[in-house]
Every structure is written in structure tokens, then in C-alpha cells.
Structure 1
Amino acid sequence: MRLKDLPLRVTALTSAVLLVVPATLVLLVPRRLASGLDRLMPDAALLQSFAARPAQPAPALWQQRLGPELAQRYWRAQRRLWWQFWGPHGDAGAYLVFSASSTEPLPTDGLRVDDLIVVAPSPLARQLLQEQLKLRRRPPRGLDLRCSQALLQEEAVHWNPAALAQMLGPLAPLAMTLQQGCLSLRSERSSLLWQGEAEASPDAHGAAPNRLSVPALPLNPSTAQPLELRGQRLDLLLRGLLSTALLRTALAERYGLGAEQLRQLQSAPFSLRLQAQPKGAYRAGLQLVVRLPGDRKLWERWLLDLSTALEQQGLTRLQPQPALSLWNREDGAVVGGWRWLAPDQLLLFLGPNPVQAPTLQAPAEGDWQLAVQPAELEALQLLPPGLPLVVKRAAQLVLLGRGSGSTALAGRLELR
């Protein structure tokens, strides 16, 4: 090879590398199959992906939005995933989303979003979505980006604060650490399993937390309570309850629970339990055990202030004892009370005095564990009305969490 030909050969080799490497990467790394999903996520209170099974009949939502014939035509062409989502106003109904060729005609109330067809539940819903899509949005990042990738690769669900409020209703403030999140879903015999993450703020864009393991076994139904929540920090509940100034003022003025006591309680381990009551004035009793930090005399003084406040509200103390206080109404029904279980453990309860108190047992993994028997709570009419039907009918639900600002989640739903 002549020396004068060397620059030409180097240039040719460089050009080949610049052309071949990107082309090879395009072939090896598949493109995202539904880029329009990123544009839909900001307008979706709840967005869920499903595996396409074209050998089976078209799902009910497809037939409702497209009609039997058109639904079956599009359904047979699906190969991987399809989606549904609800907008900020969930009562408008679900939007149907699926991949389709650009040559396919749009169905009634449908619009094309990049490589997706979106079918709205009504002409008005279609118009509202079309106007929202005209707004310029920044690309997804943090949890949004990770969730978008999950929704394009597997069965998953994404929610924001609007969906959480619709599902939990008045209980939504108790889930302040789970305002926005994403879960990957899979089934295992009669169980629905999930892993994912949630954030306390929709504006947070932190790194993904380390994953939690899915609970291996459900709780024993014969010994489980309708609801039991155990955690390392009472802040899990206090954060939502204290998010409004009105409630903070009521706790301080009516029950003597001031800022200093609340600050100390935030780091207290706790166990909260709901227990069904077959007899009496209440359908269920609520029991909270807390390991109180600091000097016990501080909490005894608070209990004295609490006793005074309850007397001013017309309640009467029943059989005062050093370690037990029971309070009843004018008709004699016991409405609640407290008792010391140990020098640093206090049981507070609403309803009858529990025969057996919850135990302060740390979760097997993570910072907190919620165990629920949804079907039993539904029978007691104690579940929020906005929860999905599959949850209301489930025998058991177990949810683990780790972290506060960015929370790792894992869980299991045992179907009947």
C-alpha cells in the first residue's frame, strides 16, 4: 500500500463506521412502539397497559368504543400491548388506545396521536383531549420516563393524584407518600402481583428506588384482621392528616396535641388495626399502638389534657384505672379510650376495649406493610366506593413500602 493512499483509506473506514454502527444499533435496539404514549401520560389520571390476545374475543371496552365488527377487525391486528386511560374527570369514561397503521381510517370519536389511535368515550372528551394535546410538554423524566418505558414493554399501571383521590375518596390524605406512581403487573395462578414505585410529589424526578420483593405468601385468613397497617414511622399517617391547617388546629385546641408532640410522634413505630364488631353500636373498632419516644411523663400530661377535652365534649370516664381509661356517651355506649401496654407503648382505640391489642412487629421487608381483606371490608361497607371492582372482591391484599419521598412498592392481591 502506498503511503499517499493512507489518508483516503482512513477516511473511507471512518465513514463506514459512522454509517454502519448507527444502522446496526437501529436493528439491534427496537424503537419504542408507541411514542404517542408520552404525550398522553400528562392528561391521564390512570393509564394501564394490557397484553393483546387476538385469539380471544375483543374486550368489552373495544366493543363499546368501536362496535362489534370494527372492534374485531382492529383486535385481530394487535400483537403486543394496548392501553386504556381515564382523564382528570374519571366519570367521563375510559379512552381506548391501540397501535394501528397510518392507512387505517379513524373510528368515530377517534384521533391519531403519533403512531397510536385514541378513541374517546364521547365527542366532548375527544375535543378536550385534542385541545390538551396542542400544549407543548417537556419530555418525560424520572418516574414518568421509567413508567412510560414499562407501559410500552409489559402490563403496568400509572396513576397521579387525581386518580388516587377518585379511588380512595376521603382516605386519600392517608396516602400522601403515594401521590404518583407506577407498578408492573403480572399474574400467578389466582394472584395478581406487582412491583414498582411511587412519589409524594408529582414534581419529583428522583432516581428509581431499589425494588422490594413481592410477598411470597398471603396472610392466614383465619387470623388476619380486615385491615392492619404496621410501620417504622407514624409519619406515614401524620403527613396526610396534618396537611391541612384546620386539622392541625383542631388537634391542638380540642385534644391538646401540639406541634412538639406531633414532631416526636413522627418517628414512632406503630401498628394500626381495624377489627370487625359483630355486636354493638359500631361495625368495626380502630386500634392504634404507638411506641412513644421521650419521657413518659410528657405523654401522661397530654392524656390528662385529652381527658379534660373529652369531658368538655360530654363524654364520661368509665371506671378510671391507672393504666386504663374508658369513655362512654350519655347512652352508656363505650366510644373509645386508651391503656398502657408497656412503659413506652400506648394503645389508643375507638370502639370497645379490645381484648387483644395489636403487637408492635416490624414489617418483614421495607418500612411498612398494609394487609387488607377487601371483601370483608366491602361487606362492612367500609371500603371507598371508587376502588376497582376486582379489588373490592379480593380475599386479601398485601402491600409493602420502603422510603418516603421516593417509595418502593411491592404487593399481592389474592383473588377469590
Structure 2
Amino acid sequence: MTAADSLLKISTYRSIVQSLPITSLGLGAVLLSGLIGVLLNQPSRKDDGIHASLSRVSGAFSLIQSFHGDSKRPAPQLWNQRLGLVRAANLWKRQGRSIWWQGWSDDGDAYLILQDQLLPTDTKNLRKHQVLGLTFLGSDELHRQQLIQRLQRQPERPAQPTSLQRRCMQRLANAPAVFWTSDALAAISGTTASLLQQGSHGCLALRLTGDTLHWGGVVGDRSIALAASQPKQGWNLAVHDRQKPENFDQDSLLEVHGARVDLILGTLLSRQIIQQPLESQYGVNQSIRSRLALSPFSLRLQQQAKGSYRAGLQFQAPLPGGASAWVSVLDRVSNHLEERGFQRFKPAEDNAKKADAVIWKDKREGQNKIVGGWRWLLQPHPNPTLLSAGLASLPDTKPFYQALPASTLSALKLNARPRNLVSLGLMNGSWPALLKQADFVQVQIKPAITSPHLKASGQQTWWEISGQLGLSSAADSSEDSD
């Protein structure tokens, strides 16, 4: 059995075909050296027609995922729903190892997408619509008409030969992959969507090896159809499947190390509803926000065995200007907390090392719980002073901040334990079952296009993302395969 067989098996038996498929940032999201890019593989005329068809219709869908067929297994439930049990079983056998697709749009129901040549001449009672060699099967006549209307509104502009759009559609036409837009990400990620805007659009190649799903591709904050320029080596939609999961703190549910705060908070910091109180109440003006946005950082979410909270969030960063530059801001934060009834106290270990810690408790209505605090950590020269802050936990007294080496070009690294997050009720949204059951997730992103101007300004539109997740129940062992 190949790895792709295992992928389809998991998608069938874990109802992946009924839920939104794997994306990543969120998540953060995220996040590959074993695979040669699509450019090096000359596609056949048939495949060229398929990816042209997918490109033509991609604007009408918020998400499209491609799968290998597997006639040795039962037809997926979506096939049964759109084709009927008998017809689905017959066509599934004819499908063999060929690629098929599943698409989602804003009407909520999934579309089954097949090559025209697979369907027999007798297609009575099927809610289908054909476009350039592909047949789209919706749940009912209303959804079929909605799809037709969306397609009519899409411009028929062919993708340029070197564009990200063309690379993505080639991948979807030939192997397991996923393409998504901001609408799909918002539906999947729930309240964390605002933290994942750098990856609100994207295209990933997928590969399952044993019990580990690997991915690699490109994400950005706008439609991939708008990616006019490209990296010198072309767009990278390749999967590294030789990675080993990084070890990270056993008590951590999530760890993120980033080259810039705006990679996860950029959307929030740009909103007027956030900017206005930051400036009026805390003195965080545009100049300070800009410096904060470009500051590197580390954060982690740690499980807590006791106390009022199931987990505590910790943040560390070498904030620009050091402690002296942030005295007034932190003093104003303290004043607001006192006005709201929170009480400041000193830790029990009141010694020289911890005397500068600012800790806050909530003692209202008979409570006595720590709500957070901060302190500055001095490091040996030439390392910078770190702000160590905690929310629902004490600020850590030891540095866990990790500076990402400039030589790797890494912009963000994420490690998480999704299954533990789910068990504690800390992972909301409509994430796929496969992700929720994963023991670990590892994501890394780096700039897809680099230039002195982009580096100096901190602006970046497109990112290469790679990652992997380990399944909590292993799939069948298999050789490497797309």
C-alpha cells in the first residue's frame, strides 16, 4: 500500500471528505527537500487541460482538495451522496488511481469533481455541471445553479506559465494537494482566524508517509492569482518527508518562535478598534506599534495542573529600547488593572532576582487567582534584555526565547500538540478530525521572495511553508509516495 493509499484511507474512515481538509496556519499555522517541483515534470496534454480547467473554476471555490483514488477500498461517502450507491461503486472501481477532487464554496455543501471521461453517457438525475473536461456534482439543483452563477462571474484570464496560480493548479491536477482562500480559513479556524492572516490564502502539496502527514507550499495574505512575481528558483510546492519532529517543552501545548510580532498580531495591530485604546489608554502610539511589530518573539501555551486556569500563556521578546523605553507603557497598564480591581503583589521568593516582578491577582468576589504579570530578564552580554510576560500564569524567570538564525531565513516556527489542546477544550473552530487527533504538529515558514527593500520594511506577501503532523493512530506503513 502506498502512502497516498493511506491518505485516502484516513480521509475515508475519519470522514475527512465530509469536513474541511487540511490547511494549515491556523493555524498557524504554518508552516521541502524530497520532491522535485512541478516545473521539472513535463505534464501531458491531458493534465495540462485538467489544470487549465481547475484554474478556470478556482475563483468559484473557497477550497479545493485533490485525492488519489483507491479501488481496493469502498467509495467515499461523498461519492455515494452525489452519485448513488450503485453508480458510485462502479465508477469508483473505474477511477483506479486517478486523481479526483472535492470543492467547497460559500454555500456550505461539498462538490464532487470528476473528469468527464469517467462518467457514463447515462447521467440522468445527477446534479452536474461540466466545465472544460471536468464535471461538478452538487447536492441539489439550487447548489448547481449557484455554482453556474459563480462561474459566470469569474474572468476567463489564463494563468501565466510561471505564476503561482498555474503551479498550484498543476499540483492539484497531478497529486494530493489543497488550495484555499480566506473564506475557507475563517470557516476552519474560528476565533484564531485573525492570527493567521499571513496564510489566509495558499496552496500545499500533501504526502503521507507511515503515520506522518507532510506538506509544503506557499501561503500569503491575498489571492494566489495576484502573485505576479516569483522567486528566482520558482514557486516551491514540494514536500520534505525526511524531517524529524522537534523536541519542545513537555509541559507546552503550543510554542511559537517568530522573527516579527506582526506575523501573528499584524492584523490586530492594524485595526482602529485596537489602535485607539492602545494609544489613548496606554500611550502605545504609531511609532511604538511599528517597533513592536518588527520585534522578534517567542510564546508558549503551557498546561497547568493546578490553579484556576487549564493553561497559561507566556511571552518573551527583546523589545526595542529595553526596559527604560517601556516604563511608561507598563505603568499605565498597572494603573488600569488597579482601576479594574486587580491587586498587585510580590512573589513569595522575594529576593534580588525576582524583586522587579510585577504580578497581578484577582481577589474580587472571594477569588484569589493569578491573572498574569511581567518582569525583565537580564542576559549575559551581548544578549538583549527580555520582557517576560505571563497571562493566567506567572512570567517565566528563565529565558525560553529563541532567536531564529538569519542564515535559515526562517520567519516563524510552530510546534503544537493538537490532541492535548482538544482534550482541554482549547482548540475551537472546525479543524479537520485528522488535525485534532494529531500527537504533534510542526510548521515552519520563510519568505518566498526576498529583497533588501522587503527586509528593511518588514513587508512580505508570500511565504514558503513546510510542516508535518503525526497521527495519534498510525496508518499502514508505506513507501514514500505523493
Q: With structure 1 as the length reference, what TM-score do the two structures score?
A: 0.87
- The whole-number CA distance in structure 2 between the counterparts of 1:48 and 1:122 is 21
Correspondence for 2:45 among 30, 34, 37: 30
Which residue among 334, 351, 370 is the counterpart of 2:392? 351
Please, which of 370, 373, 378 is the counterpart of residue 414 of structure 2? 370
Percent identical: 33
Q: Which residue number in structure 2 is paired with residue 53 of structure 1?
A: 70
The 1:51/1:363 distance shift into structure 2, 3 A limit, reads farther
- Conserved 8 A contact 1:317-1:326: yes
In the alignment, which residue of structure 2 is the partner of 1:382?
Answer: 426
Quote how far apart the aligned CAs of 1:312 are. Answer: 2.0
- Structure 1 pair 215–258 and aligned structure 2 pair: CA distance change class (3 A): farther
SS at match of 2:153: coil
- Computing the radius of gyration over CA atoms, which structure comes out larger, 1 or 2? 1
The CA distance in 2 between the partners of 1:413 and 1:328, in whole Å, is 38
1:397 to 434, 441, 453: 441
Aligned pair 1:40/2:73, yes or no? no
Deviation per CA, 1:229-252: give whole Å up to 9, x if none: 001111212212123210111222
**1:335 and 2:371 matched:** yes
TM-score, length-scaled by structure 2: 0.75
Q: CA deviation at 1:183?
A: 0.4
Report the Cα distance in structure 1 between the residues aligned to 2:462 and 2:185, rounded to whole angstroms: 17
1:326 correspondence with 2:362: no
| Structure 1 equivalent of residue 94 of structure 2 | 77
CA distance in 1 between counterparts of 2:80 and 2:43 reads: 36
Shift, 1:228, TM fit: 0.6
| Counterpart Cα distance in 2 of 1:291 and 1:379 | 33
2:402 aligns with: 361
Indicate the SS of the match to 1:36.
helix
Deviations 1:297-349 (A, max 9, x none): 11122211221222222221112865200011122211011011126200111
Superposition deviation, residue 53 in structure 1: 1.7
Instruction: Tell me the equivalent position of 1:140.
Output: 159
The structure 1 residue matched to 2:104, chosen from 65, 86, 97, is 86
Q: Residues of 1 paired with 2:43 and 2:425: CA distance?
A: 53
Identify the range of structure 1 (381-390 vs 307-316) with the bigger mean alpha-carbon deviation. Answer: 307-316
Structure 1 alignment gaps of length 5 or more: 1-26
After the TM superposition, which of the residue ranges 201-210 and 277-286 deviates more from structure 2? 201-210
- State whether structure 2 residue 111 is matched by structure 1 residue 95: yes
Deviation at 1:110, TM superposition (A): 1.4
Partner residue in 1 for 2:29: none
The C-alpha deviation readout for 1:182-217, integer Å capped at 9, x for no partner, is: 000001110000010011122443315567856711
> Number of residues paired by the alignment?
388
SS in 2 for 1:383: coil
Q: Map Cα deviations across residues 87-142 of structure 1 (whole Å, 9 max, x no partner).
A: 024xx221000113276333521121221111112221111001122234122353
| Residue 14 (structure 2) aligns with | none
Q: Tell me: CA distance 1:82–1:213, structure 2 relative to 1, closer, same or farther (3 Å).
A: closer
Of the three residues 193, 196, 204, the one matched with 1:183 is 204
* Counterpart secondary structure, 2:126: coil
Cα 1:140/1:386, change in 2 over 3 Å? farther
Provide the residue aligned with 1:24 in structure 2.
none
Q: How does 1:6-405 map to 2 (within 5 A)?
A: 29-31=44-46, 32-34=48-50, 35-79=52-96, 80-89=98-107, 92-101=108-117, 104-106=121-123, 107-137=125-155, 138-141=157-160, 142-202=163-223, 203-207=226-230, 208=234, 213=240, 216-220=243-247, 223=250, 225-319=252-346, 322-329=355-362, 330=364, 331-342=367-378, 344-354=385-395, 357=398, 359-363=400-404, 365=408, 366-403=410-447, 404-405=460-461
2:102 is paired with a residue of what secondary structure?
strand
Q: Deviations over 1:2-24 (max 9, x none)?
A: xxxxxxxxxxxxxxxxxxxxxxx
CA deviation profile, 1:24-59 (whole Å, cap 9, x unmatched): xxx994332524222221111111000122232211
Shift of 1:77: 2.1
Query: CA separation in 2, counterparts of 1:349 and 1:273?
Result: 10
Q: Do the aligned residues in 2 keep the contact of 1:212 with 1:409 (CA within 8 Å)?
A: no
The Cα shift of 1:146 comes to 1.5
Q: Distance in 2 between the 1:28 and 1:305 partners?
A: 62
Distance 2:430 2:252 in 1: 22
Q: Relative to structure 2, which stretch is displaced further, 138-147 or 59-68?
A: 138-147
Contact 1:215 1:410 in 2 (8 A): no
- 1:11 maps to which residue? none
Query: What residue is the counterpart of 2:350 in the other structure?
Result: none
CA distance 1:389–1:325, change in 2 (3 Å): same
Kept in 2: contact 1:209–1:406 (CA 8 A): no
Runs of 5+ unmatched residues, structure 2: 1-41, 348-353, 379-383, 448-459, 473-482
Q: Which amino acid in 2 is paired with 1:130?
A: I
CA contact (8 A) 2:318 2:387 kept: yes
Question: Pairwise CA RMSD of aligned residues?
Answer: 2.3
* Distance across 2 between alignment mates of 1:33 and 1:63: 27
Q: Which has the higher contact order (CA 8 A, sep 6+)?
A: 2
Instruction: Tell whether 2:422 aligns with 1:407.
Output: no
Counterpart of 1:16 in structure 2 is none
The CA deviation at 1:154 is: 1.0
SS at match of 2:72: coil
